[in-house]
Amino acid sequence: MLEIKDLHKRFGDTVALDGVSLTAAPGEVVGFVGANGAGKTTTMRIAMGVLAADSGRIVYNGAPLDVEARRRFGYMPSERGLYPKMKTAEQIAYFGELHGMSRAEAKRSAAALLEQLNLTERSGDFVQDLSLGNQQRVQLAVSLVHDPEALILDEPFSGLDPLAVDVMGTALKDRAAAGAPVIFSSHQLDLIERLCDSVVIIGNGTIIAAGSVEELKAKEVKQLRVSVQTAQDLSASLPGTVTRDGDDYLVEDADDQEVLRIAAAAGRVTHFAYDQPTIAEIFREAVTR
């Protein structure tokens, strides 16, 4: 269990974080969403010990997160960085060793990741000679080389091609399935929706919404969408607030069973369900509120 508790951080007069808390249970994939400048990167950097918080704590499996435990974490910072004049395989293996692997283990793991990322034939090339996309894949390999037991990834999908997105998505799911807590931020909300068990939305340094994907969707549900094959206009006869969306009726603040009865009386009901908002809609709603 990785717990981020009540982080506060100021940069000069700017309040970057104002009591940010979030948790990731073992095996849970947490999506961290927020506008630019909302505090995602600051939170993650503090969690990884790269930045010191003014107050607040990071607790991992019940104990304060220290350097030794952090070494077993996988981290991808938002600003990507690699040694330009170091060979690809050598570089990935070096980071494996820094994370406590033996040289042989690190080499083996690096080779396996390069294979997975279709980069085997570039193993001996300098990183600076790779395309930007391939450098991103190397960056990904660097964060996964030591088989991390927890992942904190800042925008891991940005700049990745579809293949690398799949590899990354699979890697996150695999690590979570092995019991690792995973926190990642992204602006690609469709990916969040597909991969995450829960979502945390941050705005202006405070958490504005958090919960499992289902919970959040359920909380936002308001509209009942009804499709009826009829020549009549039911706008006036249906209870509650009724709006039209094409041929559909969107009903709010009404007893759904009564709506169904009236609709069924008017004609054949082809669609009758509450609209499930997408994470994108929830996010927009949460941020503008």
Partner 1 sequence: MSAQTPETRAPETSRMRGLMLVAGREIRVRGLSKANLVSLIVTVVIVGVLAALPTILGGGDDEAEKIGLAGTNASAMEGQLNAMGGFDITMYDSADEAERAVEDGTVDTAVADGTLYSEENPDQSLQAQLDAAWQAATVQTNLADAGLSDAEIATALTPRPLETVTLAEGESDPVTSYFTGLVISIIMFMMLMTPVQYIAMGVVEEKSSRIVEILLTSLKPWQLLGGKVIGLGVISLVNLVAMVAVGLGVSAATGVLADLPPGTASAAVSTIGWWLIALVLFGTLAGGVGSLVSRQEESGSVLTPLIMSLTLSYIGAIFTLNAPTSTFAQVLSIVPPFSAITMPTRMAITTVPAWEIALSIALLVLAAAGALALGAQLYKRSVLYTGSRLKLTEALRRAA
* Complex with partner 1: residue 90 or 281, whichever CB lies closer: 90
* Complex with partner 1: residue 91 or 223, whichever CB lies closer: 91
Work out how close the CB of 252 gets to partner 1 at its nearest, in angstroms, rounded to a whole number.
Answer: 47
Among 77, 159, 169, 267, binds partner 1 (CB under 8 A): 77
Under the criterion CB under 8 A, does residue 218 sit at the interface with partner 1?
A: no
Tokens of 148: 């991390």
Q: Around Cβ 179, how many Cβ atoms within 10 Å?
A: 12
* Complex with partner 1: residue 26 or 240, whichever CB lies closer: 26
Could you tell me where the DSSP H helices lie in 71-188?
Answer: 88-98, 103-116, 132-144, 162-177
Task: Give DSSP secondary structure letters for 5-41.
Answer: EEEEEEETTEEEEEEEEEEE-TT-EEEEEE-TTSSHH
Under the criterion CB under 8 A, does residue 181 sit at the interface with partner 1?
A: no
Q: By CB under 8 A, which span of 12-20, 28-36, 89-97, 250-258 interacts with partner 1?
A: 89-97
> 14 near 128, Cβ under 8 Å?
no
* Complex with partner 1: residue 49 or 211, whichever CB lies closer: 49
CA–CA distance, 43 with 20 (Å, rounded to integer): 8
Burial class (CB in 10 A: 0-12, 13-18, 19+), 29: buried
Work out how close the CB of 131 gets to partner 1 at its nearest, in angstroms, rounded to a whole number.
Answer: 17
Under the criterion CB under 8 A, does residue 49 sit at the interface with partner 1?
A: yes
Closest by CA to 43, choosing from 201, 209, 189, 150, is: 201
* Complex with partner 1: residue 127 or 199, whichever CB lies closer: 127
Closest by CA to 284, choosing from 225, 194, 216, 234, is: 216
Tokens of 92: 């990935």
Among 73, 157, 249, 283, binds partner 1 (CB under 8 A): 73
Under the criterion CB under 8 A, does residue 125 sit at the interface with partner 1?
A: no
Under the criterion CB under 8 A, does residue 48 sit at the interface with partner 1?
A: yes
Q: By CB under 8 A, which span of 31-39, 147-155, 185-193, 269-277 interacts with partner 1?
A: 147-155
User: Could you list the residues that contact partner 1 (CB under 8 A)?
Assistant: 45, 48-52, 67-68, 70-73, 75-77, 79-86, 90, 94-95, 97-101, 142-143, 146-149, 178-180
